[in-house]
């Protein structure tokens, strides 16, 4: 087999003819992969296209059914994670692999050889050295359960570097980072590249691909498509390669019709665990037939806001008035203090994708049908559950959202991260709510699926549903929302029309500053 | 003065009753630290109890010696039998990935039957009932500390015990040091908290689970031997373990998975379990006394869940089997 010989020694990794299947799912077939020394390579592909699987093979989590792997020109067999880091390959997983009750330092030395007991002082020093070299900020003694996602990620990266990794795989590192944190990460990646390390970056955010990588490798449905130089690529060309046909990247924002108020939030105040104000005197209205975007630096009260409306978070002050029809009369009902179940019955639905993306209102070991039934069984009376309707819904969602799954009876934990999310959002929309709240629905979703979700939301809006959209990507928020509410530190700093406000101004509002035409003088 | 004496004697009795609990609890802590929830402690203790007694008795019979040699035989074989039971559990749950709860409960039932069956066999063999010689009984009795024993209060509190009491405390201290201070201890805890993390850090999850569970079983075997050799003084009594295995599982929770906290917790449990003899309350039925340790466990569970200290919780993966390619 001549073609399997490594072509140049400059390739630190070469993978040839890699195949891997899980039961009936062919996750990878005949995949080819090359990584050069000192480059940042983006690995692109839709949800479930096999990116994580390919990298798990490289890092020893999965063993391929067929294919060869060359590292630094030598044919190698990677049977377990240890073999991988003996070859100086380190991976930061999509779902972090850290022990919660250990400190950063303990996680970093975990499993490494050395003296019988651990010299904590030397360890802390060494961790600090690595941190200083690349510009990380880390407290070696902090417990993982006290850390934010970005801190956890820092620990993961240092863990790999501490093991002497020269090849670093980052599986969707930016899916849960704020833009500022992402920039910091990219600076670190560039510093590592200068140090002649090779980095594989998996991400669904194409502007990031263009910003930091040197080359891009594209997978589609478990097959290798092509590798291109980043400088020759555009968002459009990459999307087309990923999807396999030309797709439009316009988010349309139809003009709202029949706008009528549905929800009025007045002076809403809630406390966080430490007794501080997570939401402070928040007032706004939501209209049917319109999408209200909510922007803000993560942790500015978005989560508390939608949970308070859904009845999942205790309210300290203020009211949430919901326009409902009781006995033929229109009334403003205060939903504060009602139990979540009653709120759902009134037609308020919440699809929340938390930062860790796991544990988001789905039961991982149940299949799609049963997960959908969790929401639907209440609609039917009677003693026995009705699986047929749920099954029909499941099959329809698979179709409409192009969910990659062998069938609707596969436990959803086996689906790829993005596909799990489609199930969640799809299920909420399918309850036909009058008010639909979606928080971070496209976290970790590939670009095509993101657009599918945007279209779904627009469809809901046209049906007269009031949509609250909490997002991270300001560009998307500005394109899709009819009105944009900006939160900063739990306060509303502005409700603007995104079509006639600049991105800079919204950025200022997110930082808690007022913009001139808003409140003028009281800028902080 | 009289109440003080009652209390001091009660503490002494509590330590003696707490020692098998401490051994078994440490065994179970070690096991659970590897992520295996072994509910079979009661059975493992029965297996250790009968094996220890049989080893001592047979050594006396075959070699005609009493005292230290039968003692060594009892300790070694009870420990080995405990290890075998732990090994069986590991094969079933780690290699064959059987459900941990089911396997543990089965082991509890199997071990109880094993102990009671061979106890009867032994009794028949001995022509009625088994009992070891006076010399062997003596080495399992209190250590002779000479005049130290006679010091008021201190003598009773610290120097009127058999060697296993001190041994159990040393085991607890060593286990505490191992888990918290050593590299291998860190790895073991990682296996119990998050096997996928340990695995990706290059730790051999299977090996850690096997070794911890096997040695943990060995400690439970020793705890069982204590029941037959010390508590029953070398005589086979059909119900000799009498629920101490279940108490040990509760005690693991009570001591919040810490071998060092297990030392005083086991003394408290020991004290509660002998309370009916030491502080009799007229009219109080025996069954109520027997509930005390469990009530204490429930209280601790409530307290720890209110305080929410993450380090004091059960290792996160306890009860779950690990398979690398599963997700
Ligand atoms: N351990 C597993 N068991 C069963 N199926 C699996 C397993 N791991 C992956 N798969 C399947 O293999 C396919 C590829 O999954 P993979 O996680 O590699 O996708 P991905 O490209 O990383 O997607 P995403 O962008 O959503 O993370 C999916 O269809 C997934 O369901
Ligand atoms: Mg993935």
Q: For residues B55 and A276, which has the higher predicted lDDT (pLDDT)?
A: B55
Taking the alpha carbons of B282, B285, B289, B292 in that order, is the dihedral positive or negative?
negative
- Quick one: how many helices (H) and strands (E) in chain A? 16, 20
Q: What is the DSSP letter of B94?
A: I
What are A131-136's contacts with CB under 8 Å, separation 24+? A131/A158, A133/A191, A134/A161, A134/A188, A134/A191, A134/A192, A134/A195, A135/A184, A135/A187, A135/A188, A135/A191, A136/A188
Q: How many whole angstroms separate alpha carbon A158 and alpha carbon B64?
A: 64
| Best mutation target, B35, B183, B316, to test chain A (most A CBs within 10 A) | B183
| Residues A369 and A390 sit within 8 Å (Cβ to Cβ) | yes
Question: Which residues are within 8 A (CB) of A491 and not within 5 positions of it... i.e. 6 or more apart?
Answer: A280, A281, A282, A512
Query: What is the per-residue pLDDT for A32?
Result: 94
pLDDT at A284 over 50: yes
Nearest CA residue ID for atom 7, ligand 1: A414
Query: What is the per-residue pLDDT for B260?
Result: 95
Nearest CA residue ID for atom 29, ligand 1: A48
pLDDT at A473 over 70: yes
In this prediction, residue A76 has a pLDDT band, given cuts at 50, 70 and 90, of: very high
Q: How many whole angstroms separate alpha carbon A130 and alpha carbon A164?
A: 10
Query: What is the per-residue pLDDT for A120?
Result: 84
Query: What is the per-residue pLDDT for A168?
Result: 93
**A29 CB near ligand 1 (under 6 Å):** no
Nearest CA residue ID for atom 3, ligand 1: A414
pLDDT > 70 fraction of chain A, expressed in percent and rounded:
94
Query: What is the per-residue pLDDT for B290?
Result: 83
DSSP B52-67: HHHHHHHHHHHH---T
Q: pLDDT for A289-315, tens place per residue?
A: 999 999 988 778 888 898 888 888 889
| Best mutation target, A93, A117, A165, A168, to test chain B (most B CBs within 10 A) | A117
Domain segments of chain B as ranges: 2-318
**A452 CB near ligand 1 (under 6 Å):** no
pLDDT at A125 over 70: yes
pLDDT at A326 over 80: no
Q: Which residue has the tokens 């630096």?
A: A297
Interval A89-113 mean pLDDT: 90
Q: pLDDT for A490-519, tens place per residue?
A: 899 989 998 888 888 888 888 877 665 544
CA dihedral A309, A310, A312, A316 (to 10 degrees): 20
Q: For residues A258 and B138, which has the higher predicted lDDT (pLDDT)?
A: B138
A270: tokens are 């809630």
B317: tokens are 């993966």
In this prediction, residue A522 has a pLDDT band, given cuts at 50, 70 and 90, of: very low
Digitized pLDDT (tens) for each residue of chain B, 327 residues in all:
788 888 899 999 999 999 999 999 999 999 999 999 999 999 999 999 999 999 999 999 999 888 899 999 999 999 999 999 999 999 999 999 999 999 999 999 999 999 999 999 999 988 888 898 889 899 998 888 888 888 888 888 898 899 999 999 999 999 999 999 999 999 999 999 999 999 999 899 999 999 999 999 999 999 999 999 999 999 999 999 988 999 999 899 989 999 999 999 999 999 988 888 887 888 888 888 888 888 887 887 788 778 778 888 889 999 999 988 776
Query: What is the per-residue pLDDT for A30?
Result: 93
Output the CA A234–ligand 1 centroid distance in Å: 26
ipTM over 0.90: no
On whether the B2-318 domain is CATH 3.30.70, my answer is no
Cβ of B193 within 8 Å of Cβ of A100? The answer is yes
Q: pLDDT for A398-421, tens place per residue?
A: 988 888 888 889 998 888 777 887
**A49 CB near ligand 1 (under 6 Å):** yes
Nearest to A104, CA basis, from A65, A56, A138, A62: A138
Nearest to B277, CA basis, from B5, B1, B9, B4: B9
B210: tokens are 């096997």
Question: Which residues are within 8 A (CB) of A226 and not within 5 positions of it... i.e. 6 or more apart?
Answer: A217, A218, A241
**A6 CB near ligand 1 (under 6 Å):** no
- Closest CA–CA distance from residue B312 to any residue of chain A (Å): 10
| Residues A447 and A244 sit within 8 Å (Cβ to Cβ) | no
Interval A468-483 mean pLDDT: 88
Q: pLDDT for A149-183, tens place per residue?
A: 888 988 998 998 888 889 999 998 887 777 778 88
Ligand nearest to the CA of A446: 1
Element at A324 (helix H, strand E)? strand A317-326
């Amino acid at each position: 087999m001549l073609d399997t010989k490594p072509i140049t020694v400059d390739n630190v990794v070469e993978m040839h003819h890699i195949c891997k299947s899980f039961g009936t799912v062919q996750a990878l077939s005949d995949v080819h992969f090359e990584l050069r020394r000192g480059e940042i390579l983006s690995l692109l592909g839709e949800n479930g296209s096999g990116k994580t699987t390919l990298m798990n093979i490289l890092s020893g989590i999965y063993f391929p059914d067929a294919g060869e792997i060359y590292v630094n020109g030598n044919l190698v067999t990677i049977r377990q994670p240890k073999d991988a880091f003996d070859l100086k390959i380190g991976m930061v997983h999509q779902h972090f692999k850290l022990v919660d009750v250990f400190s950063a330092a303990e996680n970093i030395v975990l499993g490494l050889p050395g003296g019988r007991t651990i010299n904590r002082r030397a360890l802390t020093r060494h961790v600090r050295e690595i941190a200083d070299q690349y510009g990380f900020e880390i407290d070696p003694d902090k417990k993982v359960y006290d850390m934010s996602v970005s801190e956890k990620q820092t620990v993961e990266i240092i863990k790999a570097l501490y093991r002497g990794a020269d090849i670093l795989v980052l599986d969707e590192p930016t899916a849960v980072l704020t833009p500022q944190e992402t920039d910091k990460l990219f600076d670190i990646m560039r510093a590592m590249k200068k140090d002649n390390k090779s980095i594989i970056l998996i991400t669904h955010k194409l502007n990031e691909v263009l910003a930091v990588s040197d080359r891009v490798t594209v997978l589609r449905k478990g097959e290798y498509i092509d590798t291109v130089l980043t400088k020759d690529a555009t968002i459009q060309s990459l999307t087309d390669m990923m999807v396999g046909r030309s797709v439009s990247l316009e988010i349309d924002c139809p003009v709202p019709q029949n706008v009528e108020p549905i929800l009025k939030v007045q002076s809403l105040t809630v406390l966080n665990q430490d007794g501080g104000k997570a939401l402070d005197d928040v007032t706004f209205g939501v209209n049917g037939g319109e999408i209200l975007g909510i922007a803000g630096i993560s942790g500015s009260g978005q989560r508390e806001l939608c949970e308070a409306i859904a009845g999942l978070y205790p309210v300290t002050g203020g009211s949430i008035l919901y326009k409902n029809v009781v006995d033929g009369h229109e009334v403003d009902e205060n939903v504060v203090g009602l139990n979540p179940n009653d709120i759902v019955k009134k037609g308020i639905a919440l699809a929340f994708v938390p930062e860790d993306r796991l544990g988001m209102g789905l039961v991982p070991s149940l299949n799609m049908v049963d997960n959908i039934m969790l929401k639907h069984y209440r609609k039917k009376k009677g003693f026995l559950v009705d699986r047929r309707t749920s099954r029909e819904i499941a099959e329809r969602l698979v179709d409409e959202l192009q969910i990659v799954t062998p069938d609707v009876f596969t436990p959803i934990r086996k689906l790829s991260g993005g596909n799990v999310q489609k199930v969640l959002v799809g299920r909420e929309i399918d309850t036909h709510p009058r008010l639909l709240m979606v928080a971070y629905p496209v976290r970790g979703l590939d670009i095509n699926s993101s657009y599918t979700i945007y279209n779904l939301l627009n469809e809901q809006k046209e049906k007269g549903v009031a949509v609250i959209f909490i997002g991270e990507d300001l560009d998307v928020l500005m394109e899709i929302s009819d009105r944009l509410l900006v939160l900063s530190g739990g306060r509303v700093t502005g409700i603007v029309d995104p079509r006639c406000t600049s991105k800079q101004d919204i950025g200022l509002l997110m930082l808690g500053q007022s913009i001139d035409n808003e409140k003028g003088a009281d800028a902080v | 003065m009289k109440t003080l004496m009652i209390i001091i004697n009660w503490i002494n009795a509590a330590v003696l009753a707490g020692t098998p609990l401490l051994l078994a609890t440490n065994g179970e802590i070690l096991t659970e630290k590897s992520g295996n929830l072994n509910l079979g402690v009661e059975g493992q203790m029965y297996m250790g109890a009968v094996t220890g007694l049989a080893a001592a008795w047979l050594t006396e019979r075959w070699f005609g010696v009493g005292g230290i040699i039968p003692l060594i035989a009892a300790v070694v074989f009870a420990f080995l039998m405990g290890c075998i039971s732990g090994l069986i559990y590991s094969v079933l749950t780690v290699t064959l990935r059987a459900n941990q709860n089911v396997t543990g409960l089965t082991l509890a039932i199997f071990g109880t039957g094993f102990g009671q069956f061979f106890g009867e066999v032994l009794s028949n063999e001995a022509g009625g009932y088994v009992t070891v010689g006076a010399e062997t009984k003596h080495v399992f009795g209190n250590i002779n500390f000479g005049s130290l024993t006679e010091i008021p209060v201190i003598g009773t509190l610290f120097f009127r015990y058999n060697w296993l009491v001190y041994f159990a405390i040393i085991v607890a201290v060593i286990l505490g040091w191992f888990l918290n201070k050593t590299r291998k201890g860190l790895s073991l805890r990682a296996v119990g908290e998050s096997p996928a993390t340990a695995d990706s850090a290059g730790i051999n999850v299977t090996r850690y689970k096997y070794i911890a569970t096997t040695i943990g079983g060995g400690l439970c075997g020793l705890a069982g031997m204590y029941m037959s050799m010390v508590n029953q003084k070398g005589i086979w009594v059909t119900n000799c373990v009498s629920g101490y295995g279940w108490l040990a599982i509760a005690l693991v929770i009570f001591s919040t998975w810490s071998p060092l906290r297990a030392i005083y917790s086991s003394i408290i449990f020991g004290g509660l379990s002998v309370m009916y003899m030491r502080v009799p309350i007229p009219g109080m039925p025996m069954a109520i006394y027997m509930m005390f340790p469990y009530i204490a466990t429930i209280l601790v569970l409530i307290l720890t869940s209110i305080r929410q200290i993450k380090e004091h919780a059960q290792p996160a993966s306890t009860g779950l089997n690990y398979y690398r390619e599963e997700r």
